[in-house]
Structures are given as structure tokens and as C-alpha cells.
């Protein structure tokens, strides 16, 4: 008798568990098993092309082999490198878009294990010889602008933030100067931010940039300068 | 043995437990669809619900919580209203344009839009079978088309081209019926205008209450939507985007389409202007004080101005889903009543500078604070500059367009019989300054305070107390009820909202005429000057784009047009690239016992940037609805 009850109870349990869906079934996907990293290098100078985190250039990629692959996005670090340590092995179409350099054509690459993807390109603009100074009333950066693209330079900008990812999206203070023309690479420009925007004794990150009149172009900045505000 | 039986029964029950037919009972506490749609009265009640779902951007429209943000017990977003995410005002506590939601999700209205669309389609499917005469049927159809036009306008201005769904998919239609693709942006705008036309053709002059759609309301919507579409078409290239949605013209308009849309705006506006149904409220005041009073009263109670109001969203009862929090958030700190956090919106100096002076017609006249007359120096107080001195802080605005003082509270002017103190600093007898910080000094036996008074309930500016103070130098006034003192409760304001009024139609017409170079230039110029005459200007100015846009900004300020104007003209990302907004800080100089003013960046704010992709909002759920996503999401 007891055995019968046990059988019935087990049956009941089994039916409950299985009757209304596939409960408890684990998904059958593997974890991400590959890494993709690289940088964007100025093809003439061999230096990295500095980037911006949130509002900067973007790398778009999609994995081949799906009916409707989603476009995925990857952002650059400030100095011009990028890295995604959670990629799935496979074939991808990849390209840099909406950036501050003449982007190469889309490429198809195979991502497996540690995969490096190097972008070699010409920046629209290079920021040269940026030097920072505390004038007592303002923090000023003097710099030269060397344009590679032939379109007009629209604006110059200076931004500052406590965050080393300083850029358009990270700034507690900014100044801009409208140019709307071709710049002479020997001209020294100076932009400044009021000292009262900063707290004395703290270290801030400053950078200057210029933007070209090309659709969807992003600022070409220098690498952020760490600078302590003294009395 | 009994136990065995129970277990057996339980087992049997478990075998059929996924068959839930027995749950299908008719609810007794709900009215069935048949009961509603069997009579015109039932349809009217249903229609009222549709009106309430329309995306009217009134006092309950917020960037972070969408429209109708009064439906919860605690609609608290601390006064994050549309006017503080552009250049007309600055929030007392928010230093970002985005607050909780990013740009891509601000003003999100996708799910709500398609819910309303389904309800409209449901209504349209039963109207032909109603037992009613033809004129009743026409009215119902006309209103339903109007609501449909309004909702697709709400979708198009947020998302660009959207799926146009006119029928309710049946369960037997198969899976594909659920996946209507996006129409192109151009087709979507054309559809909005077509629905306006169909509505206008069916509707008459209305009942005079201005609270239901009539022919003129439908044409007003057409005027607004056509101008919006035309502007995008003309200016899309100012903010070029790329991607699949652009390649397929889902979020792209072309300059060659602009002419047709401007033409549509001009013809719809002309019909309203030429009809005898509407005129400006108090068009010819005898002086600027009268003009200021008229303008203020029109928004305090739009029912005073039924000659000008075309469409009003009324509010009668306070409370959840009924009232708004306009008086709570808007009042200056000194007249807050029992409400703990007033003073949330400070109108900017940028806005104040746009207003004309009577002595300089046709020019935005920035407030001059120094002897040298330089107005683009925002570097704060500099002891080396010679500041102009004023006995009373309102004197500096003496010649400003009357609408300024009807829209904002100027320092030390009276509101609710209280002198509103807005002061940001103090100069000591030795010439040193306290600015944007608490402080006091005794001069000749009298105490002077940097904020103008001794305690936070006695002043309304610049202090960080409670986030309750304007930090721009100006208080908010438009729409506020002078006779109502806030209590400690949500949703207590019942101010009516004018969604369409004749002044907007004038401005739509003038802009379309100037931008397209077609239409009646003389009439357009006259309309602009009629609006200025109503504000006590006596000199006429020529019809130019600059004059039209200034007049639009001034006349329609805080009526929730500015954000969309920046969007449709594709100027948001250039106006807001590292944009600082500005304050006018009144400072009391204890040496001269007079006031000086400092033009400065708004204290405790950071520069703001509008990203280009945010011209189109993020479409939710593209993985399941199979729609092409807008660029960069």
C-alpha cells in the first residue's frame, strides 16, 4: 500500500513539474570564449589617435551566420585603444564608424582566442604641442591645429573634468571658439577655463580638440593632461 | 485507503491542470464591449477616455516619465519639466539634461501610442454599425481621425517613420499580421496630415467650449505637424545620421520634400486665420502694464481667452490623474504655502536676453550691466569693471517687453502681495564681495545679507536651501495661480492647458512663409506685428526669419514648444554643444546702497551637450517586433 502511495506521489510530482513548461532546463549556450582588442593608429605618424569615451568614435560589428544579426558597438578608450574581453568566437564584419578619422572599409575577421584588430587611418585633425598653464585667473592650454582633411574646421573646444575620460560627455567646464574655416598649422591657439570652476588642490584632466565639417565627425582631441590646481 | 483515493484524484486533477477553460467567466464588475458600443452615449464615454490618452504635453508632461505623469500616488520627479532641458530655464537641482533617462528614452511614448492606436481602431471598427444618425456618425468619425492624427504626430516627432496600423489583427490572421514594418518618415508625416484633412472634412465649428475636436482644431494640428515635417525636411542635413534606418528613409527626410509640407502648413493656417471664429485676446492694450496683466491672466485661466483658445485640455478636480503639480514646483520659495520644495524652475538670462526692449524694436536686447556695455562676458564679478548701479533691481528691466514680467518674476517685484527677494551677493564697505554664498554684514547698525534677507523663508534665490531657490536671478510665473497657495499634497493644481491657440497658428504661418518664400508675405508680417501690438509694441518690424523666431520664442515660451523647435530645426545639437546657461545675479553694494548685476554662468551647473542621435528616439523591443532601429541605439 505504502509503495503505491509513494508511486502516486512521485507521479503527481512528476506531472506537476513537467506539465506546464520546460522548467529547470538550462540554456545551451557556451560562455564568451574570445577577446578582441586593438587600437587606432595614425598611418603617417604611427601615434595613437586619441578618442573619446561616450560621444566619440564607434566600432560596429556583427556576427555572421545569423538571419538578422544585431549590430553591436564597441567604444574607444581615451588614448585610442579598445578591448572587449567577452566575445564569442566566430566570423564578424567589423568597421569603425562616425569617428574622427578616415575610416577604412568594413572588414571580415575571425575572432578566436586573443584576437588583435588594428585600425590604421588618417585622423581628420591633429592637435599639436598642447601646453597647459595656470595664469592665476584661468587655466589655459595653448596648442596648434594641423588639419589633414581639407574641409573647414568648425570649432575648437577645451574641456575639463575630474574623470580621466574627459570629453564632451564628461566635463564640468568648457570653452569653445568658432573657426569655420581652414586653419594655419603654425597658428597657436589658446583656450582657457575660469579658475573659479575648479577646486584648489585637486587634480583635473584637461584636453583641447577641434572638429571638422564632415557629417557625423567627432572631435580630434589631444590626450588628456592631468593638472593640479594650485592657489 | 481514503488517502489513496485523495492522491489518485489529485493526480487526475494534475493531469488536466493546464486546461483553464473553467476560468473563462464573464466578469460582473466590468462593462462589456457590447454594452459600450451599442449606443452613441457609450461611444462618447469611450471617446472621453481616448482624449485623455492623447499625448498632449501639458503640465503633466515630463522628459523622464513621459506624459500624464500624474497617475501615481507620488508623481515625484522633483520638477524635472521639459523647460529645464533646453535654454529657457534651469532646474534648481538638476545639472544634467537627462536626469534618470538618457536622451534616447526622453519623452518615450511608444507603448502608450500603440495602445491608444488600438483603442482608436476598435472605436473605428464599431462606428459604422452604430444605431445613430449620419451627423452623429460623422462627428464620431471626425474625432476618431483627429485622435489618430494626434497620436501619429506624437509618434512621428519622436521616432520618425513608424508602422501605420489601421486594423486590429485577429488571432486567425497568422503571425505576419503582427509585424507591420515602419513606413518611411515622409509617408508617416503625410499620413498625419491626411488624417487631419479627413477629420476637418467631417467636423464642424464645435460647441464653443474649445474642449473637443472640431474642424479648426484638426486644422491647427495640421498646421503644427506640417511645419514640423517641413522643418525636418529642410534642415535634416544639419545633423546627418547614418545606418539602416537612414538608408531606408525611416529616419530621414529630404530637402525637396520641404516645399510641399510648408504649403500644407500655410493652407491650413490660412483657413483658421481667415475664419471669423478666432481672434487675439485683448489685442490692443493701452499700455505695457495692461499688456502684462492680460498676458498673465490668459494663462492663469484660458477660459478668459476663449476667443483665442482653439483647444483646451481642462482640469476640474485635484487629485491623482486629474490635477498637476505646477503650482507646487513653480512657486517661489517665499510663497510656497505648505509645499516643501518649490522654486524648481529658474528662467534663464539666455531667455530674458531674447526679449525686445521697446526702444529697440526688432532686436533681442541683452541686459546691459556694465558701463562698457559688453554683454558676452560671463566671467563673473570682476572688481576692475564698472558696473551700472540701480536703486531698485527691477529698474534694469524697465523698458523690456511686457511679456517678460508676465512670464517671470523679476527680483524684488510683488507676487501674491509678497516682495520676492532674489539676490545673489553682497559687497562689503571695504569692497570685498560675498557671491553665491551665505553671508551678512552690519553697516551703520543695519544687517545686510548676501541673499537679501535673514532666513530661507524670506528670500527666493541662489541659496542651496532645499533646492528651493532659483539660481538664475528670475522666478517662474507663467501659468501660476496667484490666488492659490499650495498645500502639502500632490496633483492639486487645476489650471487648464491651452494646447492650441491662435498665436501659435500666426507664428506657424509666418515661419512657413519665410522659410518657403511662398504665401502672403504682407499677411505674415502683419500677424507678427499683431502679436507685438498685443504686447504693447507700437513700432512695426519687418518680416524676417530672425524676427519670426524671436517672436515665437517669446510669445510661446514654456508652452512646451521650445524642445521640439530645437529638434525640428535640427539646432539642438549645435545650440547645446558644451552649452552653459546663464544667470543674472543681483548684488547689493553696501558702499553705494544700490544694486549691481553680474552676468554669469548659472552657479553649480555643468556644460550640457545634446547628441545628434537623440533627434530620433530609441524604439523599444526591436528584437521581438522586428522593426529597424533608429541610428546609434
**Does residue A85 sit within a domain?**
yes
Residues of B in contact with A20 (CB under 8 A): 17-18
What's A121's DSSP letter? Answer: E
**Mean predicted confidence (pLDDT) in A107-133:** 96
pLDDT per residue over B608-632, tens digit each?
999 999 999 999 999 889 999 999 9
Query: For residue range B353-410, what is the model confidence (pLDDT) as tens digits?
Result: 999 999 999 999 999 999 999 999 998 899 999 999 999 999 999 999 999 999 999 9
| Domain-terminating residue out of A107, A122, A137 | A122
Contact A184, A145 (CB under 8 A): no
Q: Does A173 touch chain B (CB under 8 A)?
A: yes
Contact A171 B606 (CB under 8 A): yes
pLDDT over 90 at B130, yes or no: no
If asked whether residues A44 and A77 sit together in one domain, one would say: yes
Query: In the 8-state DSSP scheme, what is residue B493?
Result: B
- Which fold, B40-317+613-625? 1.25.40
- Is any Cβ of chain A less than 8 angstroms from the Cβ of B578? yes
Q: Looking at beta carbons, which residues of chain A come within 8 Å of B611?
A: 55
The ipTM, to two decimals, is: 0.78
Those residues whose C-beta lies under 8 Å from the C-beta of residue B8, and which sit 6 or more positions away, are A8
Kindly state whether residues A131 and A208 are assigned to the same domain: yes
Same domain, residue pair A169 and A140: yes
User: Which residue segment(s) compose the domain that A167 sits in?
Assistant: 125-228
pLDDT digits (tens, 9 = 90+) for A66-105: 887 888 999 999 999 999 999 999 999 999 999 999 999 9
* CB neighbour class for A207 (10 Å; exposed up to 12, middle 13-18, buried from 19): buried
Nearest to residue B337, comparing CAs of B420, B419, B457?
B457
From first CA to last CA, the distance across chain B in angstroms is 65
Q: CA-CA distances (angstroms) from residue A216 to A107, B131, B228, B478, B557?
A: 21, 58, 23, 38, 31
Residue count of chain B: 633
| Exposed e or buried b per residue across B468-505, where buried means at least 16 C-beta atoms within 10 angstroms of its C-beta | bbbbbbbbbbbbbbeebebeeebbbbbbbbbbbbbbbb
Look at B107 and A169; give whichever has higher pLDDT. Answer: B107
In percent, the amount of chain B with pLDDT more than 70 equals 95
- Would you say residue A20 lies in a domain? no
Residues A200 and A216 in one domain: yes
Shared domain for A117 and A140, answered yes or no, is no
A9-55 pLDDT per residue, tens: 776 666 655 555 555 556 777 789 999 999 999 999 999 999 998 88
Domain harbouring A40, CATH code: 2.60.40.1120
Q: Check A8 against B8: CB less than 8 A apart.
A: yes
pLDDT at A5 over 90: no
CATH of the domain at A219: 2.60.40.2060
Q: Name the band, by pLDDT with cuts 50, 70 and 90, for residue B189.
A: very high
Nearest CA in chain A to B622: A70
Question: Are A139 and A222 part of one and the same domain?
Answer: yes
Which residue in A12, A196, A216 is closest to B240 by CB distance? A216
CA-nearest of B402, B454, B404 to B426 is B454
Is A200 in the same domain as A211?
Answer: yes
Put simply, the answer to whether A168 touches B609 (Cβ < 8 Å) is yes
In the structure, what pLDDT confidence band is assigned to residue B20 with cuts at 50, 70 and 90? low
A98 touches chain B (CB under 8 A): yes
Contact at CB, A1 and B4, closer than 8 angstroms: yes
> Residue A7: inside a domain, yes or no?
no
Q: Indicate whether A98 and A110 sit together in one domain.
A: yes
Identify whether residues A114 and A131 lie together within a single domain. Answer: no
Q: Check pLDDT > 90 for residue A169.
A: no
Answer yes or no: do A86 and A50 share one domain.
Answer: yes
CA distance B172 to chain A (A): 24
Question: CA of A71: how far to CAs of A50, B620, B623, B629, in Å?
Answer: 24, 15, 12, 10
In a domain, A103, yes or no: yes
User: Which residue in this structure is represented by grid cell 520634400?
Assistant: B257
Please tell me if residue A13 touches chain B, with a CB cutoff of 8 Å. Answer: no
CA neighbours closer than 13 Å in the CB half-sphere of residue A144: 7
Band of pLDDT at residue A62, cut at 50, 70 and 90: very high
A214 & A133 share domain: yes
Number of domains composing chain A: 2
Inspect the interface and report whether the beta carbons of A159 and B11 lie closer than 8 Å: no
User: Within the 47-86 window of chain A, which residues sit less than 8 Å (CB to CB) from chain B?
Assistant: 55, 58, 68, 70
Residue A144 and residue A107 share a domain: no
pLDDT surpasses 80 at B9 = no
Of all residues in chain B, the one with the smallest CA distance to A12 is B11
Among the listed residues B569, B533, B570, B573, the one whose alpha carbon sits nearest the alpha carbon of residue B549: B569
Q: Provide the mean pLDDT of chain B.
A: 93
Last residue of a domain, one of A77, A104, A122: A122
Please say which residue of A69, A93, A122 terminates a domain.
A122
Amino acid at each position: 500500500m505504502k509503495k503505491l502511495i509513494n508511486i502516486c506521489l512521485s507521479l503527481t510530482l512528476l506531472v506537476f513539474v513537467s506539465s506546464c513548461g520546460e522548467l529547470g532546463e538550462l540554456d545551451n549556450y557556451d560562455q564568451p570564449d574570445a577577446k578582441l582588442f586593438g587600437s587606432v593608429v595614425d598611418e603617417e605618424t604611427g601615434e595613437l589617435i586619441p578618442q573619446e569615451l561616450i560621444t566619440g568614435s564607434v566600432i560596429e560589428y556583427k556576427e555572421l551566420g545569423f538571419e538578422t544579426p544585431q549590430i553591436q558597438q564597441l567604444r574607444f578608450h581615451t588614448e585610442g585603444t579598445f578591448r572587449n574581453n567577452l566575445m564569442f568566437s566566430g566570423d564578424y564584419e567589423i568597421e569603425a564608424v562616425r569617428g574622427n578619422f578616415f575610416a577604412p572599409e568594413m572588414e571580415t575577421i575571425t575572432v578566436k582566442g586573443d584576437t588583435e584588430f588594428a585600425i590604421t587611418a588618417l585622423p581628420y585633425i591633429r592637435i599639436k604641442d598642447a601646453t597647459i598653464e595656470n595664469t592665476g585667473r584661468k587655466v589655459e592650454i595653448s596648442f596648434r591645429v594641423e588639419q589633414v582633411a581639407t574641409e573647414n574646421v568648425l570649432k575648437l573646444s577645451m574641456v575639463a573634468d575630474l574623470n580621466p575620460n574627459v570629453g564632451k560627455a564628461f566635463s564640468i567646464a568648457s570653452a569653445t571658439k568658432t573657426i569655420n574655416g581652414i586653419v594655419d598649422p603654425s597658428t597657436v591657439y589658446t583656450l582657457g577655463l575660469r579658475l573659479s570652476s575648479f577646486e584648489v588642490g585637486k587634480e583635473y584632466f584637461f584636453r583641447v580638440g577641434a572638429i571638422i565639417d564632415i557629417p557625423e565627425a567627432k572631435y580630434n582631441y589631444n590626450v588628456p593632461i592631468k593638472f593640479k590646481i594650485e592657489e | 485507503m481514503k488517502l489513496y483515493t485523495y492522491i489518485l484524484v489529485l493526480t487526475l486533477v494534475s493531469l488536466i491542470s493546464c486546461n483553464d477553460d473553467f476560468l473563462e467567466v464573464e466578469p460582473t464588475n466590468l462593462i462589456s464591449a457590447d454594452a459600450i458600443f451599442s449606443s452613441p452615449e457609450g461611444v462618447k464615454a469611450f471617446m472621453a477616455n481616448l482624449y485623455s490618452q492623447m499625448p498632449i504635453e501639458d503640465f503633466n508632461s515630463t522628459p523622464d516619465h513621459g506624459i500624464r505623469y500624474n497617475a501615481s500616488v507620488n508623481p515625484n520627479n522633483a520638477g524635472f519639466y521639459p523647460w529645464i532641458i533646453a535654454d529657457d530655464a534651469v532646474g534648481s537641482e538638476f545639472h544634467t539634461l537627462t536626469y534618470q533617462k538618457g536622451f534616447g528614452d526622453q519623452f518615450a511614448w511608444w507603448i502608450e501610442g500603440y495602445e491608444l492606436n488600438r483603442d482608436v481602431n476598435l472605436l473605428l471598427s464599431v462606428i459604422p454599425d452604430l444605431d445613430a444618425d449620419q451627423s452623429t456618425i460623422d462627428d464620431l468619425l471626425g474625432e476618431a481621425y483627429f485622435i489618430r492624427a494626434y497620436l501619429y504626430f506624437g509618434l512621428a516627432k519622436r521616432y520618425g517613420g513608424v508602422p501605420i496600423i489601421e486594423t486590429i489583427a485577429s488571432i486567425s490572421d497568422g503571425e505576419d499580421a503582427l509585424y507591420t514594418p515602419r513606413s518611411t518618415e515622409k509617408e508617416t508625416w503625410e499620413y498625419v496630415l491626411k488624417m487631419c484633412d479627413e477629420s476637418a472634412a467631417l467636423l464642424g465649428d464645435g460647441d464653443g467650449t474649445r474642449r473637443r475636436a472640431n474642424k479648426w482644431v484638426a486644422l491647427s494640428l495640421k498646421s503644427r505637424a506640417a511645419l514640423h515635417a517641413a522643418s525636418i525636411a529642410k534642415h535634416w542635413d544639419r545633423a546627418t545620421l547614418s545606418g539602416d534606418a537612414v538608408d531606408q528613409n525611416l529616419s530621414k527626410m529630404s530637402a525637396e520634400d520641404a516645399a510641399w509640407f510648408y504649403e500644407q502648413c500655410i493652407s491650413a493656417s490660412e483657413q483658421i486665420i481667415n475664419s471669423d471664429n478666432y481672434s487675439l485676446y485683448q489685442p490692443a492694450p493701452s499700455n505695457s502694464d495692461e499688456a502684462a496683466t492680460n498676458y498673465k491672466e490668459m494663462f492663469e485661466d484660458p477660459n478668459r481667452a476663449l476667443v483665442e483658445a482653439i483647444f483646451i485640455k481642462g482640469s476640474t478636480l485635484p487629485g491623482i490623474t486629474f490635477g498637476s503639480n505646477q503650482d507646487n514646483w513653480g512657486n517661489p520659495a517665499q510663497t510656497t504655502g505648505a509645499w516643501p520644495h518649490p522654486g524648481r524652475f529658474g528662467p534663464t538670462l539666455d531667455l530674458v536676453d531674447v526679449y525686445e526692449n521697446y526702444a529697440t524694436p526688432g532686436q533681442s536686447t541683452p541686459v546691459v550691466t556694465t558701463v562698457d556695455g559688453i554683454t558676452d562676458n560671463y566671467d563673473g564679478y570682476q572688481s576692475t569693471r564698472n558696473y551700472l548701479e540701480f536703486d531698485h533691481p527691477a529698474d534694469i528691466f524697465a523698458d523690456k517687453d511686457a511679456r517678460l514680467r508676465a512670464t517671470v518674476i523679476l527680483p524684488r517685484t510683488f507676487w501674491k502681495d509678497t516682495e520676492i527677494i532674489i539676490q545673489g551677493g553682497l559687497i562689503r564697505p571695504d569692497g570685498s564681495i560675498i557671491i553665491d554664498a551665505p553671508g551678512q554684514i552690519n553697516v551703520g547698525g543695519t544687517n545686510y545679507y548676501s541673499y537679501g534677507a535673514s532666513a530661507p523663508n524670506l528670500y527666493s534665490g541662489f541659496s542651496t536651501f532645499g533646492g528651493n531657490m532659483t539660481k538664475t536671478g528670475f522666478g517662474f510665473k507663467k501659468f501660476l495661480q496667484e490666488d492659490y497657495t499650495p498645500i502639502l499634497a500632490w496633483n492639486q493644481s487645476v489650471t487648464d492647458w491651452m494646447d492650441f491657440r491662435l498665436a501659435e497658428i500666426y507664428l506657424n504661418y509666418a515661419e512657413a512663409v519665410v522659410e518657403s518664400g511662398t504665401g502672403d508675405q504682407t499677411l505674415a508680417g502683419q500677424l507678427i506685428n499683431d502679436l507685438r501690438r498685443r504686447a504693447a509694441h507700437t513700432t512695426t518690424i519687418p518680416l524676417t526669419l530672425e524676427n519670426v523666431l524671436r517672436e515665437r520664442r517669446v510669445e510661446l515660451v514654456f508652452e512646451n514648444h521650445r524642445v521640439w523647435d530645437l529638434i525640428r530645426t535640427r539646432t539642438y545639437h549645435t545650440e547645446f554643444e558644451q552649452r552653459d546657461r546663464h544667470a543674472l545675479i543681483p548684488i547689493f553694494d553696501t558702499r553705494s546702497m544700490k544694486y549691481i548685476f553680474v552676468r554669469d554662468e548659472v552657479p553649480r551647473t555643468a556644460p550640457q551637450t545634446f547628441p545628434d542621435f537623440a533627434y530620433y528616439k530609441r524604439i523599444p523591443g526591436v528584437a521581438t517586433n522586428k522593426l529597424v532601429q533608429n541610428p546609434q541605439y
